[in-house]
Every structure is written in C-alpha cells, then in structure tokens.
Amino acid sequence: MYFTQFVLNYAWAAIPNGNCNNICMGGNSLLNLLLCDKGHLTKPSNPATAKAVTTTILNHLDSGRLRKAVSILFYAPFPFHFSLYARLFQLCSSTGSRAIVEARKVESHLFTFSPTPPVFLVNRAIEAFAKCGSLGDARELFEEMPQRDGGSWNALITACSQSGSPEEAFRLFVKMSRSGFLPNEITFASVLGSCAAVLALSLSRQVHGLIVKYGFGGNVVIGSSLVDIYGKCVIIDDARKIFDEIKNPNDISWNIIVRRYLEMGEGEEAIVMFFQMFKAAVRPLKFTFSNALVACSSISALDEGIQIHGVAIKMGFDDDEIVSSSLIDMYAKCGDLESASAIFDQPNSKDVISWTSIVSGYAMSGQTWKARELFDEMPERNVISWNAMLAGYARYSQWEEAVDFLFLMRNTTNNIDQVTLGLILKVCAGLLDVELGKQVHGFIYRHGFSSSMFVGNGLLHMYSKCGKMRSAKTVWFHQISHWRDRVSSNALLSSYARRGRSELAMTIFCGMQW
C-alpha cells in the first residue's frame, strides 16, 4: 500500500507540467515511465534538494515530530544517506514511539531505492519491527535477507526473546551455530533471557557450558544473566557463586543478587549484599534500595531499615516515589507507624502505593479504625488497597466490619484476585458460615481460581473450621492433591486434632515429614 501511494505521488511529479495526457505519450505506460526514468528515481536532479530535505527531516526529528519527518522521507523521490534511515529506525522503536506504521514506511523507502542495503541497516529494521511489537515483520525481513551476519541472528534472537517466544529463540540459536556464526555476549544474554522466561534450568546449564567454552565467563552482562536465571530457578548457591566470579559487577548485577535473595526468603542476606555494594564502590539503583527495604520489612529489621533510610537521604533517593513507598511500608511493617506517617505526609509522597502501604500498616497493627479513615480518603484504589484493609479486619477477627466492607467492595469494584478470595474464605471461616463459603467456592470454580494454592488452602481452612470434613477431604484429595504445602497440612491436621481424630491427624503429620 505504501509503495503504491509512493508510485502515484512520484508519477504525478514526473508528469511534465502535470499534464495527464503525457502519461501515455509515445506508447509509454506509467510502468514504463518509472522503469525508464531510473536516473531520476535513484538520485535527485539537484544535490542541494536532497540536502535541504534531509535538513528539514532532521529539524522535525529534533522537535519530536517523528510522523511528519517520516512522511517527508516517504514521499521524497530519491534516496537519503544510510545514517538517516538508521536514526529513523531507532526512533520508531524507542519506548515513547513504538511507531510500527512509520517503521514500515522507512523500510519501504529504503528498499525502493536500495534493493540491497547494507546488512547493518537491515538489522536495525529487524530490531525496530520487533520493538514495535511486530515479530512477524522482523521474521519476514530476516528470512528475505540474501546475506546475514552475526548481528542479523542476534537481532532476531533478541526479538524472539523479548517478544515472549523463547522456544523460537532457542531454535534460532541452534540454527545460528549450525550456520557457522559464533555467538557473542548479546546472543548469550538473549538466550539466557529466554531460559529465565520458561525457567529452563537444564538448558541454562548447557548454555552456561558454551559461555565458558567461548571465554565469556567473566562478562558482566552474561554473568548477571546467569545469576538471574539460577536465582529464578531457586539455585541461589550457584547464583551467588557466579556473582562472585564476575570481575566487576555493576549496579544491575548487584540489584539482581539482592532481589533473588529477597525472593528466596533470605532477607538477611539480601541486606548484607546491599551494604557490600558500597564497599565495591557501586551506586545502588532505586530498585535496589526498594528491594533492600522490602527485605528489612520481611524480617522486621528496623535498625537496618533506618540505616538504609539514612543512605537514601544522603544519596538523594528519599524523594523517589518507589523508595519513599518502600520506606513507608518498611516502617509500618516494623511497627514504627510514626515514622511511616511522617514520610507519608511529605509533599509528593502520596501515590496509590504509598496510600496502600500506610493503610496496611495501620490495619495490620490493629488500628483498623485509623486504617479505614485513610482508606476512605484514598483518591484512587487498586485491588491491593482493598486487600490490605480486608486483611486487617480478618487478622483481628472483626468479622462484622469485614462483612460490611465486603458489601462495599462488591458495590464499588469488580477487581478481585486470589488474595481477595482467600481473605473472603477466612471471613467465612471466622463466621462459621459454610453456605457463604460454598457460594464463594462456586465463584472460584467458575472464574478459574481453582488452581491457586492460596485459594485452595483457604477452602481447606474454611471447610475444616466449619466442620465439613467431607468437603475438606475433597479439596485435599482432588483440588490441591498435586501442590499441597505445610499450610495445607496444618489446616487439616489441626481440624482433625480439634475433633479428636488422632489417628487421622497422625497420618497427616507423618505425611508432612518430607
């Protein structure tokens, strides 16, 4: 479509005096006119014209008018310097643009005047299509390339990895090796990203072996990717070993190891690694500050949290929304509501995350009346905000308030998640209202929440607490038979023990000894 429109515009410009009768003069068709006038098609009649048009395009780009700049290029009947195409591809794929239509126009103009453009430029086009969300265009362009280099393979492998097609990224990686192209750090980083997406530990170890074989073991980017994948696969000891082998870990490397320790439930080690960053003279990212503060929250490490707060002030991170919200959450969960409120009351500190953190802090400390006041003042709420308030009522067995809150929630929002359902089941158990619990069970089944362990444990607890052991056993043996945990076992064990069913309780207890 774009090429057709270009042809029509060019043809009109090529008609002497704009006289349509000249289109067929001398037996020349429109196609013959275009084919015979190759000199006019491939270079401007006046070099100054091309320079002036290029300047106009660059001025539009400098002013942020990408669409206008591409439009001028698209209708120009002559080629431009390759560097201009490269810049346009880069801008089309930038985070703020994602301009797939413009990227296609730039590619159309490029191939119209340069049927065999440099490989590096085609690689930029592949990257642009992928970042604009059109993996199909990127794949098609790659397949049509008469010549490829390692950058071509890397461009498509990275595109597949970032577009949620890890299996295709693996396939291309194997095909690249068989085609005689050696992988580099970009290739390995993209493949490891795909491994992390699907938690492919076995494949990650094979790729790790190739990384060592090709001498990239000390590379900071690849090393960080390996730390990430091993951490996500819950092999934290291997992740730490690889981290220690990185010659000069950067801020991203440190953020990854802190985050992975946090996700493993090793908050203390996450805090230790955070402070070791300063010995290595690496400036933390705002996300690293946040992760370290969450680690403090997880183990109620108030003293360490205060130290991190001091460092954040010294380094100018205390005004950042992510860090300030994490500070509020840390102080609230560590029981220092006064400090949490002081940060919350600072200018520019109030967003939905900080509002939710302060509400949760008061709710989980037993001051549900104060939490409710703040909740009612919230300018906007999300599902986590609702859950935070409901969790406070459930924790302190304020069942009537919880029921009233559920009616408010039902009339206000349809946004619920597995945590909401687990809390509602806890309210049903507290009220010993098995009929309401059954209704919630039906909702869970109809809306696809049955596979959630959190919800399954909530159902088990509700039926057990309400004395419906047959229903509890149905949940135990069928709904959660493949993914029970200690919470599941404790719920059934305590229920049997309360009812004097000691033999069944011992059977459950013995099954917990894994």
Query: What pLDDT shows up at residue 124?
Result: 93
What are the tokens at 491? 């719920």
For the chain, state the CA radius of gyration. Answer: 31
Using the 3D structure, point to which of 366, 384, 415 is the last residue of a domain: 415
Same domain, 429 and 510: yes
With respect to residue 86, please indicate whether it lies within any of the assigned structural domains: no
Same domain, 427 and 489: yes
Residue 201 to residue 451: CA distance in whole angstroms: 24
Query: What pLDDT shows up at residue 21?
Result: 38
3-state secondary structure of 119: helix
Residue 213 to residue 207: CA distance in whole angstroms: 10
Q: Which of 305, 298, 301, 291 is nearest to 260 (CA)?
A: 291
C-beta atoms surrounding 196 within 10 Å: 20
Same domain, 428 and 399: no
With respect to residue 236, please indicate whether it lies within any of the assigned structural domains: no
Same domain, 377 and 443: no
Same domain, 437 and 410: no
Contact criterion met (CB below 8 Å) for 402 and 427: yes
Sequence length of the chain is 514
The low-confidence residues of the chain, meaning pLDDT below 70, are 1-46, 95-97, 349, 469, 472-514
With respect to residue 135, please indicate whether it lies within any of the assigned structural domains: no
Q: How far apart are the first and last CA of the chain?
A: 64
Q: What are phi and psi of 157, to 5 degrees?
A: -60, -45
Angle in degrees, 0-180, between the axes of helices 251-263 and 236-245, rounded to the nearest 10: 160
3-state secondary structure of 334: coil
With respect to residue 451, please indicate whether it lies within any of the assigned structural domains: yes
Contact criterion met (CB below 8 Å) for 76 and 62: no
Contact criterion met (CB below 8 Å) for 287 and 254: no
Same domain, 399 and 430: no
With respect to residue 314, please indicate whether it lies within any of the assigned structural domains: no
What pLDDT, in 10s, does the model give residues 441-495?
Answer: 889 888 888 777 778 778 878 887 887 767 766 665 555 545 555 665 565 556 5
Contact criterion met (CB below 8 Å) for 161 and 135: no
With respect to residue 73, please indicate whether it lies within any of the assigned structural domains: no
Same domain, 407 and 449: no
Query: What pLDDT shows up at residue 407?
Result: 92
Query: What pLDDT shows up at residue 494?
Result: 62
Contact criterion met (CB below 8 Å) for 87 and 57: no
Query: What pLDDT shows up at residue 509?
Result: 47
Same domain, 510 and 467: yes
Same domain, 405 and 428: no
With respect to residue 371, please indicate whether it lies within any of the assigned structural domains: yes
Tokens 């191939």 belong to 111
Query: What pLDDT shows up at residue 204?
Result: 86
Q: Which domain holds residue 357?
A: 350-415
Same domain, 510 and 432: yes
Same domain, 477 and 402: no
Please count the structural domains in the chain. 2
Same domain, 435 and 387: no
C-beta atoms surrounding 244 within 10 Å: 11
Query: What pLDDT shows up at residue 511?
Result: 53
Using the 3D structure, point to which of 415, 441, 470 is the last residue of a domain: 415
With respect to residue 90, please indicate whether it lies within any of the assigned structural domains: no
Residue 101 to residue 422: CA distance in whole angstroms: 45
Using the 3D structure, point to which of 415, 438, 471 is the last residue of a domain: 415
